[in-house]
Amino acid sequence: MISILAFTLILLLGAYAAGLLGSLTGLGGGVVVIPLLTLAFGVDFRYAIGAALVASIATSSGSASAYVREGITNVRLGMFLEIATTIGAVVGAIIALWMPTNTIAIIYGLVLIFTAVMTQRRGTDHQGVQGSRLAGLLKLHSTFPTRSGGLQRYELTHVAGGFSIMTVAGVLSGLLGIGSGVLKVLAMDTVMKVPFKVSTTTSNFMIGVTAAASAVIYLQRGYIDPGIAFPVMVGVLMGALTGARLLKRMDVTVLRRIFAIAILLVAINMIYNGFTGKF
């Protein structure tokens, strides 16, 4: 039986590694934290989700501010879509409170598989898109800085479709404790035709608000344990900051592929444990 101090230090190191890998691969620390807590440490699934939500709030708040300062994030678009993700997150958190943990584990495994596959796709800049009337009325069109130092203008389309997918992303965030960044990017990049760089940074900007909405439900029900959530939050945040610095000097293409395979194996383990009733 290990002491509380030893458990905290091990959890802190594990969360640091999760944040580092999540930052380098674009999958986010929450994707790694929940399997780490449930499979490695035997933490109850709902407490793991609560800790992951707290970590998502910290990492999103820390990294999103930099992208906002650089002018890449479309703040107006993010605030508009947060209406959908926040509603979905509250609904997802409420569902998670009565849904059996085995079922949550199976859904989590399936979402992990989808996440690993989608991270291998390449985004596009969607130049020359004719924006929709609704996007114009909502003033969602914007610009982002290019490498040459100028500004490139872009326009959005299919606002209703993107809003609908964002609601699903919010439900999954509240249900599983992950940022659902892949679904958010899919809604903006594929459906709304937002340039990939803008969609990823805007997604990061939204994750903290989405997580905060569902974290309130978990906090009210007592599923956020400070002894677990605090070291996870600190570790993931430090790992994410380290990863952001290393990202500028590393070619992470191979790492992303290897990590995607590892995530697939974790997903299979999650689904198996869910079906066999080990959660």
What region does 201 belong to: left with phi over 0, alpha with psi -120 to 50, or beta? alpha
CA–CA separation, 224 vs 217, rounded Å?
10
- The pLDDT of residue 2 is 65
The pLDDT tens digits of the residues spanning 133-155 come to 898 899 998 888 877 777 888 88
The pair of three-digit structure tokens given for residue 183, joined into one six-digit string = 């679904």
Q: How far apart are CA 214 and CA 139, in angstroms?
A: 28
The pTM of the full predicted model, rounded to 2 decimals, is 0.82
Closest CA to 184 of 46, 106, 85, 105: 85
The pLDDT of residue 243 is above 80: no
Q: Where are the alpha helices (DSSP H) in the chain?
A: 4-25, 29-35, 45-70, 75-98, 101-118, 133-137, 159-176, 181-185, 196-220, 226-247, 253-275
The whole-number pLDDT of residue 248 equals 58
Dmax (CA) of the chain: 63
With a pLDDT cut of 90, the percent of the chain lying above it is: 14
- The tens digit of pLDDT for each residue in 96-133 reads 888 998 999 999 899 888 877 776 666 666 677 788 88
Predicted confidence (pLDDT) per residue in 24-83, tens digit: 665 666 777 888 888 888 888 889 989 988 888 877 766 667 677 778 888 899 999 999
